[in-house]
């Protein structure tokens, strides 16, 4: 049995603690009395994943076994989570491949010929053929690509279907092929509590017209947190949309969860608690850190991006989404949830090299903001780990770098829009539509490998709750230009950052460090 998560009180015997910092990491000695939130130890993975998948498909929750839903002549659409999940990408074979292969075998056995596979990438960039191949495996890729294995295109208006509106007036518009199918099989990996469930179809296959109803400042500010679905206005919207979708099309959900084996054995020390490092771990730390610092920047990035996690699969559940997702969330909580007593004045987060939107790409400043003030800040239930008006200290170099192919609208957003204001409401009101409907961004989203024009706005909104909650934001090691452009401050060292935070939280603040990755969800009481 793996050990549960816990909160460490830093004392004289506590060794320096590992802190991720973009494409690097360091050991940092925290002030005495600081609290450190650790996740539970990595759960054991399922030994026979294929058998677990088969069991799930044949023994679903709240619906008939999958083979009974498959009939000759039907239209079957298999939708799968795109490359934004999991993070880092998992070692092959990807669990999505394993599920899709079994679903296809069952469909073939039932004489189903009309099968399409769609990556549920919403407004994310298209997956390249190589990325699709890695996700679904060689066999499926060769049999289906390109005619029957595609990326969802949220700007292909002929192939979108407006299904109606929710009782709150929210448009529900999704991929037409999926909407007009007899059955959608959605293949999911739930890495954090925000993913999966009603989000899968209503977001993964949606258009801007539909997404804007929940990807907005108001909703994000009332999602406290978006990793706590019952308290997330965003998830309430997903649930309403799911209701409309369920009236039109049957969805058979297959949800999986993974454990916290985030880094391969060569960097195994990153998965362990620092005081438990053995001599080999300590040597690995020194060697990997030194090598990492000596590498040319491009090589370093390539190595980090090609790092695949040896995740174990901790759960496979299939069937009706409303019955499946609670089981999935239970697994996520089992792996990530740690109880924390009370909030602190200062929260510290070490931001790693990858977020959902820079897989095989560059983590630009907007994505750093989204990762820090969006994803990491919102890794809580009940209350943030930092009090209202407190200070968040992030570790990241925030380099002034953008991927010109993947993030063209991010460049304009950073260079032109943020120079005018960093207020999410103002940006949303004044510029969102302009970026969303810009024909060039749309062209690049559809034909190149660019995120949709509106995507940087969503990233900024992702941090809207934190921006409202926090009194100050400081990046240790952050580029001064990029951090100040975003309205934040940068410090050279933690001591400097705490000195800077004095104005907001005084000279003896309580401090909590949320130790991640591997991911930790703080249940703050």
Partner 1 sequence: MILALEYHRSPGRFIAARSLTATKLGGRMSGMIAGNVSPLRLINRQAPELPGEGWTRVTPRLSGICGSDLGLLTGRSSPYLSPMTSMPFVPGHEVVGETQDDLPGMPKGTRVVMDPVLSCVARGTPECRWCASGHQSRCDHITTGRISAGLQTGSCADTGGGWSRQFVAHASQLHAVPDELPDERAVLAEPLACAVHSVRRVKVAPGSTAVIIGAGTVGLLTLLALRELTEVGAVYVVAKHGHQQEKAKALGATAVIEPRKAIRALRRVTAARMHTPEIGGDFLLGGVDVAFECTGGSSGLDTSLRLVRAGGTVVVSGMPNGGVDLTPLWYRELELVGAYCSGADGADFADAIRLAGTAPLDGYVGTTYPLARWREAINHAADAGRLGTVKVAFDPAR
Residue 492 CB, nearest distance to partner 1 (Å)? Answer: 28
Per CB under 8 A, which region of 16-24, 111-119, 134-142, 411-419 contacts partner 1?
Answer: 411-419
DSSP labels, 163-176: EEE-TT--EEEEEH
Closer to partner 1 by CB, 275 or 440: give it. Answer: 440
Size of the site for partner 1 (CB under 8 A): 9
In eight-state DSSP terms, residue 373 is I
Residues 81-100 binding partner 1 (CB under 8 A) are none
Per CB under 8 A, which region of 238-246, 297-305, 360-368, 412-420 contacts partner 1?
Answer: 412-420
Is residue 400 a contact point for partner 1 (CB under 8 A)?
no
Residue 416 CB, nearest distance to partner 1 (Å)? Answer: 6
Residue 207 CB, nearest distance to partner 1 (Å)? Answer: 20
Closer to partner 1 by CB, 193 or 417: give it. Answer: 417
Which residue(s) pair with 117 in the sheet? 78, 149
Residue 453 CB, nearest distance to partner 1 (Å)? Answer: 9
Q: Among residues 5, 38, 19, which one has the least CA distance to residue 352?
A: 19
Residues 228-257 binding partner 1 (CB under 8 A) are none
Residue 457 CB, nearest distance to partner 1 (Å)? Answer: 13
Rounded to whole angstroms, the Cα distance separating 489 from 472 reads 8
Is 229:329 a contact under the CB 8 Å cutoff? yes
Rounded to whole angstroms, the Cα distance separating 160 from 178 reads 9
Residues 49-78 binding partner 1 (CB under 8 A) are none
Q: Is 252 helix (H, G, I), strand (E, B) or coil?
A: strand
Is residue 412 a contact point for partner 1 (CB under 8 A)?
yes
Per CB under 8 A, which region of 15-23, 283-291, 327-335, 409-417 contacts partner 1?
Answer: 409-417
Closer to partner 1 by CB, 415 or 499: give it. Answer: 415
Residue 438 CB, nearest distance to partner 1 (Å)? Answer: 6
Closer to partner 1 by CB, 327 or 411: give it. Answer: 411
Site string for partner 1, 413-452 (x = CB under 8 A): --xx-----------------x---xxx--x---------
- Give the one residue of 58, 233, 411, 425 binding partner 1; rule: CB under 8 A: 411
Token duo for residue 479: 């580029």
Closer to partner 1 by CB, 142 or 434: give it. Answer: 434
Cβ neighbours of residue 47 closer than 8 Å, sequence gap 6 or more? none
DSSP labels, 301-337: HHHHHT--B-PPEEEEEEE-HHHHHHHHHHHHHHHHE
DSSP labels, 25-39: EEEEPPPTT-EEEEP
Rounded to whole angstroms, the Cα distance separating 519 from 4 reads 13
Q: Among residues 195, 208, 248, which one has the least CA distance to residue 122?
A: 208
Please give the helix or strand (H or E) that residue 184 lies within, else none: strand 183-190
Sign of the alpha-carbon dihedral angle for 458, 459, 465, 469 = negative
Is 415:402 a contact under the CB 8 Å cutoff? no
Residue 362 CB, nearest distance to partner 1 (Å)? Answer: 17
In eight-state DSSP terms, residue 70 is -
Residue 18 CB, nearest distance to partner 1 (Å)? Answer: 39
Residue 412 CB, nearest distance to partner 1 (Å)? Answer: 5
Q: Is 41 helix (H, G, I), strand (E, B) or coil?
A: coil
Closer to partner 1 by CB, 324 or 418: give it. Answer: 418
Per CB under 8 A, which region of 60-68, 98-106, 335-343, 407-415 contacts partner 1?
Answer: 407-415
First to last CA, the chain: 25
Contact positions vs partner 1 (CB under 8 A): 411-412, 415-416, 434, 438-440, 443
């Amino acid at each position: 049995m793996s050990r549960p998560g816990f909160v460490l009180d830093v004392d004289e015997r506590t060794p320096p603690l590992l802190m991720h910092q973009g494409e690097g990491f360091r050991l940092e000695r925290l002030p005495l009395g600081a609290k450190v939130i650790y996740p539970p130890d990595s759960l054991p993975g399922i030994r026979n994943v294929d058998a677990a998948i088969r069991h799930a498909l044949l023994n679903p929750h709240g619906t008939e076994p999958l083979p009974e839903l498959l009939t000759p002549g039907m239209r079957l659409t298999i939708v799968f989570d795109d490359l934004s999940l999991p993070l880092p990408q998992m070692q092959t074979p990807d669990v999505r491949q394993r599920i899709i292969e079994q679903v296809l075998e069952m469909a073939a056995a039932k004489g189903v010929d009309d099968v399409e596979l769609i990556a549920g990438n919403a407004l994310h960039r298209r997956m390249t053929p190589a990325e699709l191949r890695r996700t679904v495996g060689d066999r499926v890729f060769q049999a289906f690509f390109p005619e029957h294995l595609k990326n969802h295109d949220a700007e292909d208006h002929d192939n979108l279907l407006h299904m109606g509106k929710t009782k709150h007036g929210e448009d529900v518009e999704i991929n037409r092929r999926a909407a007009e199918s007899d059955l959608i099989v959605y293949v999911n990996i739930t890495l954090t509590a925000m993913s999966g469930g009603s989000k899968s179809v209503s977001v993964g296959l949606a258009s801007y017209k539909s997404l804007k109803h929940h990807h907005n400042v108001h909703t994000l500010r009332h999602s406290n947190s978006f990793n706590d679905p019952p308290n997330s206005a965003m998830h309430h919207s997903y649930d309403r949309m799911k209701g409309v979708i369920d009236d039109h099309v049957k969805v058979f959900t297959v949800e999986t969860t993974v454990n916290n084996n985030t880094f391969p054995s060569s960097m195994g020390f990153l998965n362990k608690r620092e005081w438990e490092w053995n001599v080999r771990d300590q040597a690995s730390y020194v060697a990997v850190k030194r090598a990492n610092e000596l590498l040319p920047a491009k090589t370093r990035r390539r190595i980090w991006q090609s790092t695949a996690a040896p995740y174990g699969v901790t759960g496979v559940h299939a069937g009706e989404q409303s019955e499946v997702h609670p089981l999935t969330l239970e697994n996520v909580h089992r792996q990530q949830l740690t109880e924390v007593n009370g909030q602190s004045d200062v929260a510290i987060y070490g931001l790693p090299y990858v977020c959902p939107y820079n897989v095989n790409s560059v983590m630009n400043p907007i994505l750093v903001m989204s990762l820090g003030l969006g994803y990491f800040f919102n890794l809580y239930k009940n209350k943030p780990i930092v009090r209202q008006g407190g200070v968040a200290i992030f570790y990241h170099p925030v380099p002034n770098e953008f991927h010109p192919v993947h993030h063209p609208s991010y460049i304009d957003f950073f260079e032109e829009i943020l120079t005018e204001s960093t207020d999410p409401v103002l940006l949303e009101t004044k510029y969102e539509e302009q970026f969303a409907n810009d024909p060039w961004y749309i062209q690049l989203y559809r034909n190149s490998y660019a995120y949709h024009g509106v995507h940087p706005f969503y990233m900024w909104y992702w941090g809207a709750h934190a921006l409202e909650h926090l009194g100050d934001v400081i990046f240790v090691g952050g580029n001064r230009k990029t951090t100040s452009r975003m309205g934040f401050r940068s410090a050279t060292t933690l001591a400097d950052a705490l000195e800077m935070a004095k104005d907001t939280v005084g000279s003896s603040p309580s401090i909590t460090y949320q130790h991640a990755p591997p991911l930790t969800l703080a249940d703050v009481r």
